[in-house]
Amino acid sequence: MFGISGLLVYLAVRKNYEPLLLIPIGFGAMLANLPAAMLSASSGYHPEPDQTIPLLQLIYSMGIKTQLLPPVIFMGVGALTDFRPLLSRPITLLLGAAAQLGIFVAALGAFYIFGFKAEEAASIGIIGGADGPTSIYLTAILAPHLLGAVAVAAYSYMALVPVIQPPILRLLTTPKERAINMPQARPVSQTAVIIFPIFITVLTALAIPSSAPLIGMLMFGNLLRESGATDRLSKTAGGALINIVTIFLGLVVGATMQGDTFLSAQTLFILVLGAIAFAFSTAGGILFAKLLNLFLPEAKRINPCIGAAGVSAVPMSARVVQKFVSEETDGQVNPLMAAMGPNVAGVIGSAVAAGMFLALLR
Amino acid sequence: MEEPNLLVICLNAFAAVLILLTILSGALRGLIELFPERGDPNKEAQKFTTTAPQPGTDAAIAVAIATAANAIIPGARVTRIEEIK
């Protein structure tokens, strides 16, 4: 486990793979495996009366078991996210939905091929949403014993988006499709931008109440950002608060990675399934964009590459799409802003998918 | 306890995600129609153009510069971005 801990820190420091999460996770994993240090955390911990609860177990019990920390991260993400690209092209919400395909493919693979239980399979599948807090939120509820492996897989593959997505983009699109230059999106009024988070929260919470903690906090953070009247709160949610919670979340997730449970074939299966989930999610977004193009008039066709940005690794997958398309078209087509639409839609899509799993499996 | 049928659960969940986000998409379209941007009408007609980011230039920066240039000079085309240190 010390080797794995060191590897995570190395990848974060030298390769810049999601360092904000992988360094706390790697260090937490080291703490958890120090003999007699009492710094591990687990869902099955039950203290004796008058026993002092170990530090990281305390944070786990207060922050993960109570499902507090991931929604707070979502609030920070909302405060940092500009949803205008999505509002200006609402159709890109569909790409954010289709790019959740990998979640369900990986869940089915985990269940029917690898023999995981349904709750475990759902937790593994959610890696395909490419959303760390959502993966932690769902796994902490459905399969807390897999938390470490799922979180490590989710954040590792999010960091590997620039490696995973381009081959799939090349495989599933033609040069002609890559060259589709989408027109500039229409401008969006400030009123619409302010109503948007309220609107999404109410509609989503009414349809799938179990997704409300994630979507509600995401949209609350966004309202703080867009209202123009709560600059201090917005800066706190998207700055100090999200940083503090990220530190706690990473350390505690690392602290769940005890050698006796983490070093198993299950962890390897989870890593394999995570890669499958990512690949299918990317493919789902691209193929759905191609499907939409069959029904759209020539002038309104979508560059199918932006479908790949429907996985919610914001903004990395949008940047990957921009770089890929720009290189493939000698810089003639630059779909960065168009790709941000499905990218932020993917955050909503993965939270809704997690909510559906909770509603159907809990 | 009987194991739930994950195939049915996944199909239902994926259908729910697609249907809900389709509804939200339609609702958002209604929202932006209801509250349209009332800016300078000339701005609407401005053509956004940008060209290839040169090697070493971040694409996001190139797009941002092109957008800013178009806001000042409609129809302008950014052909070269040079950083002076």
Q: Does B62 touch chain A (CB under 8 A)?
A: yes
Q: What is the mean pLDDT of residues A38-42?
A: 87
Q: CB–CB of A357 and B9 under 8 A? A: yes
Amino acid at the residue A147: L
Please tell me the predicted confidence (pLDDT) of residue A259. Answer: 87
Residue B45 has pLDDT above 50, yes or no: no
The single-letter DSSP state of residue B79 is -
Residues of A whose CB is below 8 A from B80: none
How far does the CA of residue A52 sit from the closest CA of chain B (Å)?
36
Contact (Cβ atoms closer than 8 angstroms) between residue A300 and residue A180: no
Quick check: B42 pLDDT over 70? no
| HSE-CB of A234 using CA atoms within 13 angstroms | 16
Please give the average per-residue pLDDT across B69-77, as a whole number: 69
B10 in contact with A, Cβ within 8 Å: yes
Task: Give me the helices (H) in chain B, please.
Answer: 6-34, 41-45, 59-72
Q: Mind listing the pLDDT tens digit for each residue in B28-37?
A: 999 999 998 8
Residues of B in contact with A330 (CB under 8 A): 52
A127 and A274 in contact (C-beta within 8 Å)?
A: yes
For tokens 């983490």, the residue is A262
- Let me know: does A316 contact A164? Beta carbons within 8 Å: no
Residue in chain A nearest B46 by alpha carbon: A184
Separation in Å, CA of B58 to nearest CA in chain A = 9
Mean pLDDT within A158-180: 93
pLDDT band at residue A184, thresholds of 50, 70 and 90?
A: confident
Question: Which pTM does this prediction carry?
Answer: 0.85
pLDDT at residue A124, as a whole number? 95
Nearest to A74 by CA among A134, A29, A120, A127: A134
State how far the Cα of A358 lies from the Cα of B13, in Å rounded to an integer: 10
For A193-245, the pLDDT digits (tens) are 999 999 999 999 999 999 999 999 999 999 999 999 999 999 999 999 999 99
Which pair of structure tokens corresponds to residue A115?
């023999």
Helix A132-142 / helix A212-226 crossing angle, nearest 10 deg: 150
Give the mean pLDDT of chain A.
93
Is the pLDDT confidence value at A42 over 90? no
- What percentage of chain A reaches a pLDDT higher than 90? 79
Query: What residues contact residue A107 under an 8 Å CB cut-off, 6+ apart?
Result: A121, A122, A124, A125, A126, B6, B10
DSSP state of A333: -
| DSSP 8-state class, residue A114 | S
Q: Cα A359 to chain center, whole Å?
A: 19
Region B1-24 average pLDDT: 91
**Residues A101, B6: C-beta atoms closer than 8 Å:** no
Segment A330-358 mean pLDDT: 94
Smallest Cβ distance to B21: which of A97, A357, A360? A97
Is B39 an 8 Å CB contact of chain A? Answer: yes
State residue A356's pLDDT score: 95
Backbone φ and ψ of B36, nearest 5°: -75, 155
Q: Give the SS3 label for residue A112.
A: helix
Six-digit token string for A297: 């008039």
- What distance in Å separates the CA atoms of residue A256 and residue A121, rounded to the nearest whole number? 19
Interface A-B: count of C-beta contacts within 8 A: 139
| Confidence band of A299 (pLDDT split at 50, 70, 90) | confident
Q: Over pLDDT 70: what percentage of chain A?
A: 100
Contact in structure between A278 and A128 (CB atoms under 8 Å): yes
pLDDT of residue B85: 60
Domain boundaries, chain A: 74-232+265-361
Q: What is the mean pLDDT of residues A182-189?
A: 86
Nearest to B35 among A117, A191, A349 (CB): A191
Would you say the C-alpha torsion A126, A127, A130, A136 has a positive or negative sign? positive
On chain B, the residues whose CB falls within 8 A of the CB of A334 are 50, 53, 59, 62-63
For residue B46, what pLDDT band results from cuts at 50, 70 and 90?
very low
A122, A204, A361: residue with CB nearest B20: A204
- Give B23 to chain A, closest Cα distance, Å: 9
Q: Tell me what pLDDT residue B47 has.
A: 43
Question: CA A118 to CA A102: how far, in whole Å?
Answer: 16
- Say whether pLDDT at B50 is over 70: no
Which among B35, B44, B47 is the nearest to A189, CB-wise?
Answer: B35
